[in-house]
Amino acid sequence: MDLTYTPEEEEFRARLREWLAAVLPTLPPKPPPEDWPARRAYDLGWQRMLYDAGYAGLHWPVDAGGRGATPTQHLIFLEETEQAGAPYVGAGFVGLLHAGPTIAAEGTAEQRARWLPPILRGEQVWCQGFSEPDAGSDLAALRTRARRDGDDYVVSGSKIWTSHAEVADWCELLVRTDPSAPKHRGITWLAMPMDAPGITVRPLKTLAGSAEFAEVFLDEVRVPVGHRVGAENDGWRVTMVTLSFERGTAFVGEVIACRRVLGELAREARKNGRWDDPALRRRLGRLNAEFRALWRLTQWNVSEAERSGGVPGAGGSVFKLRYSHARQELYDAAADVLGAQALDLDRPWVPDRLSSLSYTIAAGTSQIQRNIVAERILGLPKGR
Amino acid sequence: MTRPVHFQLTDDQRALRDGVRELLEGRFGRQALRTALDTPGLDRTLWRELGEAGFFALRLPEAEGGVGVGLPEAVLAFEQAGRVLLPGPLVATHLAADARVPGAATGEAVVTAVQGGLVEWLDEADVVRGDASGAVPLRSVDPLTPLHRVPDGGGTAPPDVPLAVLLTAAEQLGSASRTCELAVQHARTREQFGRPVGAFQAVKHLCAGMLERVGTARAAVYAAAVTADPLDIAAARLLADEAALHGARDCLQVHGGMGFTWESDVHLHLKRAWVRARRSGDVTESEEILAGDLLADLPGATV
């Protein structure tokens, strides 16, 4: 147990901090949330700045165009960018955190050369076509069908919860290529160009009132066989190789942001008099303990990843369970601080309270996470 | 690049943890635990053996006959003590050895302390730290922790209180980790409706919740052991209490009717967890310390 950083890591931090202080004031103003093309341009512009400064694909392997940084350096990067108020990965999320790493791990040399550099340089946006209306927690039950026709797959079906679909260039798509095989064995991973004929994107309005994701309908869409990553019917394994990355360091910035919000809540409570209520103070004190612990758990998971050569362990599920719940508690406490103003959508924290409701559902519901923890970590028998 | 990695135990720490576990499981296994239930008083022979093994002198310099290790090592040792429900005023005696109270380091003396208005093991103690005058015995809810109540609360707190809170949190962590294991063992083997009860999601999710709390508490407790920061200690205390109290309750629930019997060990974990939670004083205090911190400078996320 040792929580110190090496001189090299401290130097990395200092250089990054200096760079952030220099470039962040030069950023254009943030675009309005409903203007998707402007958001795309803003997010890609930031990615290009990272690329030019040598910070793009920090944790990607060197032979995939990344910097081969250690998990600790990646942690420092996420910590410093969040604390400096730098933009989020935004529209680059799927490309940088899932599709890219999948191609890096499983793609051919040609596929890597074609798709990875534009992701790192901030030139192309990827979206994810995994879930379907009837394949949510049971993702492997997906039914979008791809049949071979010469050098193409012809794909028909529908996908749902696809973020950035309106502005994406590519979609990492899971399709069923063998309906007669057991459900995990008949799935294939394809890179689908979003301008192909037969694709219809219908934005979905969330309970927060914004269109954060979409349904994607596919009607006889032709995808060249050369766009397949991994072998036909091996798509489930190809996908799972990197799916766990979503749960490794994906929430680092958010935990830091939550700690900042907690401090702001305390200040607001002091200003509006709610601080005099001991029950509220105790609630905020507990949340302080909670987010301190979650930060330590993040460091723990990173140190595990470091030891195991970059592959995040099952600790990610424990973290995700705990964090998603804590985030909802945080914004419920915010409502307690705000009082009647908690019903005003123009107040800070109120929209965040709404969006926090997705956390116990997205990227594996809490119930599915508990199954994973119980079966894969504790070794309890499968069954319902 | 060679570097000390956060949270990974060093080889020495691993060896110490395993050594303490072996010693305690060998010397205070389930049979000894059940025997202790029927034998009032503290096992002085065991106490001296703990002293000889260095349990109380862990943090004393080697020149003074100590082991010469730090707080993280002490936390690992107390976690093991919590696992096996080792009885006695362990925390008080360990901290007394620190304060050079004669006989504490070697296990010759049993030292207790007034904490949270209560004194544990007063009748067995050779030395009492704090003012225990007027102490009145009560019928302790934990059969393995005799208690006295101190009428006026026992006066001012000794300066080593944060350390006592941290070592107590380490014991809570060990107990939480053990009740999680006991629940999982039971869920794997107990069959109803023709399959292990652990195959049912309702039971599975109770167990997953236990592990979630243990994992989070462990990160908080180990971090506090490294930083010794009072805020980290307060946070570790809240998380470890939650893991131990909630964990023992869920473990009892998973055990069904057997969990409600005297014969099961589950109630011993729950009752000791209640005693330990009290030892660290009012929960409100820890919560207020952490609330106050929010109004200090914005919390830095770095170590």
Give tens-digit pLDDT for B199-252.
999 999 999 999 999 999 999 999 999 999 999 999 999 999 999 999 999 999
Three-state DSSP at A188 gives strand
Beta bridge partners of A213: A163, A204
Give B118's contacts (C-beta < 8 A, 6+ positions apart): B147, B148, B149, B150, B278, B279
Q: What is the mean pLDDT of residues B18-27?
A: 96
pLDDT reading at A253 higher than 90? no
Q: Which of A181, A204, A233 is the last residue of a domain?
A: A233
pTM: 0.93
Per residue in B29-86, pLDDT (tens digit) is 999 999 999 998 999 999 999 999 999 999 999 999 899 999 999 999 999 999 999 9
Radius of gyration in angstroms for the set of CA atoms belonging to chain B, rounded to a whole number: 19
pLDDT tens per residue, range A172-191: 999 999 999 999 999 999 99
Mean predicted lDDT score pLDDT of chain B = 93
| Per-position b or e across B5-25, b if 16+ CB within 10 A of its CB | bbbebeeebeebbeebbebbe
Same domain, B71 and B107: yes
Chain B, window 83-142: residues with a beta carbon less than 8 angstroms from a chain A beta carbon: none
Do residues B207 and B214 make contact, with C-beta atoms less than 8 angstroms apart? no
Residue B302 placed within a domain? no
- What is the per-residue pLDDT across A192-223, written as a single tens digit (0 to 9) for each? 999 999 999 999 999 998 888 999 999 999 99
pLDDT for the residue numbered B206: 98
Per cent of chain B over pLDDT 90 is: 88
CA B152 to chain centre: 26
For residues B187 and B204, is the Cβ–Cβ distance under 8 A? Answer: yes
In a domain, A93, yes or no: no
Of all helices (H) and strands (E), which one includes residue A134?
A: none
Mean pLDDT of A318-344: 96
Residue B156's pLDDT band (cuts 50, 70, 90): low
Q: Of the given ranges (A21-35, A226-240, A309-323, B42-56), which has the lowest mean pLDDT?
A: A309-323
- Categorize the per-residue pLDDT at B300 as very low, low, confident or very high, splitting at 50, 70 and 90: very low
Residue B16 and residue B145 share a domain: yes
Contacts of residue A267, defined as CB under 8 A and 6 or more positions apart, other chains included, come to: B295
CATH number at residue A137: 2.40.110.10
Nearest to A39, CA basis, from A81, A87, A73, A107: A87
Binding-face residues of B in 169-188 toward A, CB within 8 A: 180, 184, 187-188
Instruction: Give chain B's domain count.
Output: 2
* Cβ neighbours around B27 below 10 Å, total: 16
Task: Give me the amino acid identity at B112.
Answer: T
Give Cβ neighbours of residue B243 (< 8 Å, ≥ 6 apart): B172, B173, B176, B210, B213, B214, B216, B217
Please count the residues of chain B.
303
Both B127 and B188 in one domain: the answer is: no
Q: Is residue A43 over pLDDT 70?
A: yes
Q: State the pLDDT at residue A251.
A: 82
Average pLDDT, chain A: 93
Residue A362 has pLDDT above 70, yes or no: yes
Q: H or E segment at A135? A: none
Residue A72's SS3 state is helix
The reply to whether B180 falls in a domain is yes
Residues of B (196-215) whose Cβ lies below 8 Å from A = 196, 198-201, 203-205, 207-209, 211-212, 215
- Range of the structural domain that residue A221 is part of: 126-233
| Inside any domain, residue A51 | yes
Task: Name the region of B281 (left: φ>0; alpha: ψ -120 to 50; beta: rest).
Answer: left
Q: What is the pLDDT of residue A247?
A: 45
| Residue after which a domain boundary falls, among B101, B125, B149 | B149
Domain endpoint, select from B119, B149, B179: B149
- A361 is a domain residue: yes
A330 is a domain residue: yes
Do A326 and A262 touch, CB atoms closer than 8 A? no
Give the C-alpha separation, B149 to B152, whole Å.
Answer: 9
Domain presence at residue A285: yes
Query: Residues 282 to 301 of B: which have CB under 8 A from any A CB?
Result: 284, 286-295, 298-299, 301
For residue A309, pLDDT beyond 80? no
Distance CA B33, CA B11 (A): 30
Same domain, B125 and B168: no
Residue scoring higher pLDDT (B160 or B106): B106
Of A83, A281, A370, the CB nearest to B288: A281
On whether residue B4 sits in a domain, the answer given is no
Kindly state whether residues A41 and A84 are assigned to the same domain.
Answer: yes
d(CA B92, CA B104): 9
Residue A242 counted as domain residue? no
A61 assigned to some structural domain? yes
Would you state the pLDDT for residue B2? 32
Domain end, chosen from A201, A233, A265, is at A233
Residues contacting B293, CB < 8 A, separation 6+: A288, B231, B299
pLDDT value, residue A310? 56
Nearest to A29 by CA among A17, A42, A20: A42
With beta carbons less than 8 A apart as the criterion, state whether B179 and B169 touch: no
Q: What is the ipTM of this complex?
A: 0.93
- CA A337 vs. chain centroid, Å, equals 29
Same domain, yes or no, for B116 and B173?
A: no
* A265: nearest Cα among A347, A148, A346, A203: A347
User: According to the model, what pLDDT value does residue B158 have?
Assistant: 66
**Quick one: average pLDDT of B267-287?**
95
The answer to whether the CB of B18 falls within 8 A of the CB of B77 is no
Backbone angles phi, psi at A172, to 5 degrees: -85, 115
**Among residues B206, B227, B247, B79, which one has the least CA distance to residue A296?**
B227
Using DSSP's 3-state secondary structure scheme, residue B291 falls into helix
Question: Could you give the 3-state DSSP secondary structure of residue B46?
Answer: helix
Q: Do A83 and B301 touch (CB under 8 A)?
A: yes
Hey, is the C-beta of B7 within 8 angstroms of any chain A C-beta?
Answer: yes
**8 Å CB contact between A190 and A223:** yes
Residue A304 contacts by C-beta under 8 Å, 6 or more apart in sequence?
A312, A313, A315, B7
Is B240 inside a domain boundary? yes
Looking at the predicted structure, is the pLDDT value of residue A363 above 90? Answer: no
Contact flag A293-B199 (C-beta cutoff 8 Å): no
Do the beta carbons of residue A128 and residue A172 sit within 8 Å?
yes
The CATH code of the domain that includes B170 is 1.20.140.10
- C-alpha span between A88 and A119 (Å, rounded): 15
Together in a domain, A255 and A372 = yes
Q: A313 pLDDT exceeds 70?
A: no
Beta carbons of B216 and A256 less than 8 Å apart = no
Model confidence band, residue B299 (pLDDT cutoffs 50, 70, 90): very low
Averaged over B147-173, what is the pLDDT?
86
Say what the pLDDT of residue A244 is. 54
Query: A384: pLDDT confidence band, cut at 50, 70 and 90?
Result: low
Number of structural domains chain A divides into:
3
| Beta-bridge mates of residue B195 | B192
B6 within domain boundaries: no
Task: Read off the CATH number of the domain in which A51 is found.
Answer: 1.10.540.10
Q: What is the CATH number of the domain that holds B99?
A: 1.10.540.10
pLDDT value, residue A224: 98
- State the burial class of residue B64 (Cβ atoms within 10 Å of its Cβ: 0-12, 13-18, 19+): exposed
- Would you state the structure tokens that stand for residue A238, as one six-digit string? 């190809």
**Mean pLDDT value across residues B176-196:** 97
Report the Cα A49 to chain-centroid distance in Å. 20
In a domain, A238, yes or no: no
For helices A71-83 and A7-23, the axis angle rounded to 10 degrees is 30
Containing structural domain, residue B285: 161-295
Same domain, A279 and A325: yes
Residue A33: the pLDDT is: 83
Determine, yes or no, domain membership for B300. no
- Residue B7 to residue A5, Cβ atoms within 8 A: no
Write down the pLDDT at residue A312: 55
At residue B150, the pLDDT reads 93
Structure tokens at B112: 């207790």
Write out chain B residues lying below 8 Å of A259, CB-based. 299, 301
List, in sequence order, every residue forming a beta bridge with B128; answer none if it has no partner: B112
Same domain? For A76 and A193 the reply is no
Judge if A219 and A274 occupy the same domain: no
CA distance B36 to chain A (A): 31
